[in-house]
């Protein structure tokens, strides 16, 4: 290793300090590092910038973001329930927020209230039964059909609150509802069965439903609990009364991680006939055979030595592009003028030594026009490209006139 280092150092050999850094010629690592940075300043600066950008990107990606789970007690957004959680804690309620089913089961004690908001319906029957066994009271927020069925409380889904009812009257004998008064009804679901309160338009189903034994309360609205509308109508009163009645509250929001592991049911494989297993692989074998049939080349490739062929006009076109890019108006004008005069001298029968003035005079004589006018045209210096185009066309016309005479 030392040998390699000293060799490479010998190659670099520009800094005299490096040569004397050690008896074997191997400099101290720090010195070498500084030396490298000095030699590759641009590279080092670039690397530093890239590293900083990378760190920034990773940092922003990894930085803890605000909780955005709906009805989470740590979510301060409109659909969160941080306000409610804070109020309950201020009033001495112990709010537990387990993340997993096991955690919820562990913290549930005698006399606890469980708030269950399973918006994706991830919990299955046995899991819900386990929760029901441990919890004293369960407040279920907008449960889905499978959750309700599994709870087996006699409460059923009964549609949504019509838009005509932005607020709902209690209209029942439940003390919580009576005390709270009106609550927000917009965008809520109604449930039927047990004792129902907040019934829109005198139907049997209501926003709040309690089972016959009073253990299960179904709330058909997240707005009643959410930060956004907690201070409207009697939302806060209803929510606090529902959840603050016991000293212990377990606030459990099931996630996809709580999905029961056992798949259950029959897969497509079980349903397919026996031969289907062999169909695909055998077709692959057929495809492989077809590839071998068509893909085998009939002998090695044969060389075709290609000759060099260049478009001869390419140089002129390249020069034209150079003129265009640099807006070489003067150069273009000189070329066009010289070409015109040469050809005119030829077609007018003047010798190769004819001067511009002689050529112009001869052309004017042939055309029967004033030599001064033609000289003014031929000797003009166009200043803009537009003028150059017009001028060159005028020259072309002049040449045609002379040659047709």
Which candidate, 131, 144, 111, places its Cα nearest to that of 252? 131
Does residue 190 contact residue 159 with C-beta atoms inside 8 Å?
yes
The alpha carbon of residue 285 and the mean position of all alpha carbons in its chain are separated, in whole angstroms, by 41
Least CB distance to another protein at residue 380 (A): 14
- Dihedral sign for Cα atoms in the order 191, 193, 194, 196: positive
CB of 338 to another protein, least distance (A): 6
> Which uninterrupted H or E stretch holds 252?
strand 248-252
The candidate with the shortest Cα–Cα distance to 76, out of 89, 87, 67, 65, is 67
Q: What are phi and psi of 200, to 5 degrees?
A: -80, 130
Name the residue nearer to another protein (CB basis): 44 or 279. 279
Using the minimum distance from each CB to another protein, give the nearer residue, 105 or 336.
336
Min CB(100)–another protein separation in Å: 44
Integer Cα distance of 381 and 344 in angstroms: 19
**Minimum distance, C-beta of residue 226 to another protein, in the bound complex (Å):** 58
Task: Tell me which residues touch another protein (CB under 8 A).
Answer: 273-275, 277-279, 282-283, 285-286, 289-290, 292-293, 296, 298-300, 302-305, 307-313, 315-317, 319-321, 323-324, 328, 331-333, 335-336, 338-339, 342, 352, 385-386, 388-389, 392-393, 396
**CB closer to another protein, 317 vs 401:** 317
Identity of the residue, 62 or 308, whose beta carbon is nearer to another protein in the bound complex: 308
Identity of the residue, 319 or 369, whose beta carbon is nearer to another protein in the bound complex? 319
- Of the two residues 11 and 303, which places its CB atom closer to another protein in the complex? 303
Q: Which run of H or E residues covers position 341?
A: helix 329-347
Helices 356-367 and 385-404: crossing angle in degrees, nearest 10, is 60
> Shortest gap between Cβ of 394 and another protein (angstroms)?
10
Give least dist CB 107 to another protein, A: 54
Cα distance between residue 221 and residue 207, in whole Å? 7
């Amino acid at each position: 290793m030392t040998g390699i280092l000293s060799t490479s150092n010998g190659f670099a050999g520009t800094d005299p300090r490096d040569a004397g850094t050690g008896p074997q010629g191997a400099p101290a690592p720090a010195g070498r590092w500084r030396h490298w940075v000095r030699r590759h300043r641009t590279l080092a600066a670039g690397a530093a910038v890239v590293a900083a950008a990378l760190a920034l990107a990773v940092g922003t990606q990894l930085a803890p973001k605000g909780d955005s789970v709906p009805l989470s007690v740590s979510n301060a957004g409109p659909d969160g329930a941080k306000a409610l959680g804070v109020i309950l804690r201020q009033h001495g309620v112990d709010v537990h927020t387990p993340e997993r089913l096991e955690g919820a089961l562990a913290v549930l004690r005698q006399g606890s209230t469980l708030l269950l908001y399973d918006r994706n319906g991830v919990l299955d029957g046995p899991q819900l039964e386990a929760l029901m066994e441990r919890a004293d009271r369960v407040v279920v927020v907008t449960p889905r059909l499978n959750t309700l069925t599994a709870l087996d409380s006699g409460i059923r889904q009964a549609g949504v609150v019509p838009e005509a009812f932005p607020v709902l009257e209690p209209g029942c004998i439940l003390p919580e509802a009576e005390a709270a008064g009106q609550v927000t009804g917009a965008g809520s679901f109604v449930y039927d069965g047990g004792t129902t309160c907040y019934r829109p338009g005198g139907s049997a189903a209501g926003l709040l439903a309690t089972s016959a034994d009073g253990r299960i309360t179904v709330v058909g609205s997240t707005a009643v609990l959410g930060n956004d509308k907690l201070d409207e109508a009697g939302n806060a009163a209803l929510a606090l009364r529902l959840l603050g009645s016991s000293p212990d509250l377990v606030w459990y929001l099931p996630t996809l991680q709580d999905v029961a592991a056992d798949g259950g049911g029959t897969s497509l494989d079980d349903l397919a006939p026996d031969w289907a297993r062999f169909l695909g692989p055998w077709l692959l074998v057929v495809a492989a055979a077809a590839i071998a049939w068509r893909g085998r080349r009939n002998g090695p490739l044969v060389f075709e030595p290609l000759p060099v062929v260049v478009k001869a006009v390419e140089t002129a076109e390249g020069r034209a592009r150079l003129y265009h890019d640099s807006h070489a108006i003067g150069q273009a004008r000189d070329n066009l003028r010289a070409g015109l005069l040469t050809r005119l001298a030829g077609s007018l029968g003047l010798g190769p030594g004819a001067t511009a003035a002689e050529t112009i005079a001869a052309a004017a004589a042939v055309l029967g026009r004033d030599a001064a006018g033609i000289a003014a045209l031929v000797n003009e210096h166009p200043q803009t490209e537009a003028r150059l185009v017009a001028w060159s066309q005028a020259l072309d016309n002049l040449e045609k006139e002379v040659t047709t005479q």
